């Protein structure tokens, strides 16, 4: 079974033990969530984060990265940076994007 973010989930016929294969297709989607304050300009924050994601050399240009408003709560607004990377970059890219966003 292939998930929407291109992970391959294998469900065998015998004892059920789910295995998620992160490298089978070569590319995988990463989602990085960040919270901004209610007083932060949403459009400006999305623009800065989108530039930051697109500038990361490990992020693939196609499909294009996006920044989405994923939730609004009492503490602020949650933005999700969504990008596609090679399977080998699945672990380091989210850490790099979080750090770059914190420094922006």
Domain ranges across the chain: 26-103
- At the second CATH level, the architecture of 26-103 is 2-Layer Sandwich (3.30)
The 10s digit of each residue's pLDDT in 37-71 is 999 999 999 999 999 999 999 999 999 999 999 99
Which residue shows structure tokens 């994923």? 70
Q: How confident is the model at residue 10 (pLDDT cuts 50, 70, 90)?
A: confident
What is the spatial distance between Cα 69 and Cα 65, in angstroms, rounded to a whole number?
14
- Strand-pair partners of 59: 85
């Amino acid at each position: 079974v292939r998930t929407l973010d291109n992970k391959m989930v294998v469900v065998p016929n015998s004892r059920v033990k789910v295995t998620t294969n992160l490298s089978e297709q070569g590319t995988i989607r990463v989602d990085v969530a960040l919270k901004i304050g209610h007083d932060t300009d949403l459009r400006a924050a999305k623009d800065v984060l989108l530039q930051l994601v697109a500038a990361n050399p490990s992020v693939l240009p196609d499909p294009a990265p996006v920044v989405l408003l994923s939730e609004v709560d009492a503490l602020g607004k949650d933005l999700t940076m969504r990008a596609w990377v090679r399977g080998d970059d699945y672990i380091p890219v989210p850490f790099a994007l979080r750090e770059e966003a914190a420094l922006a």
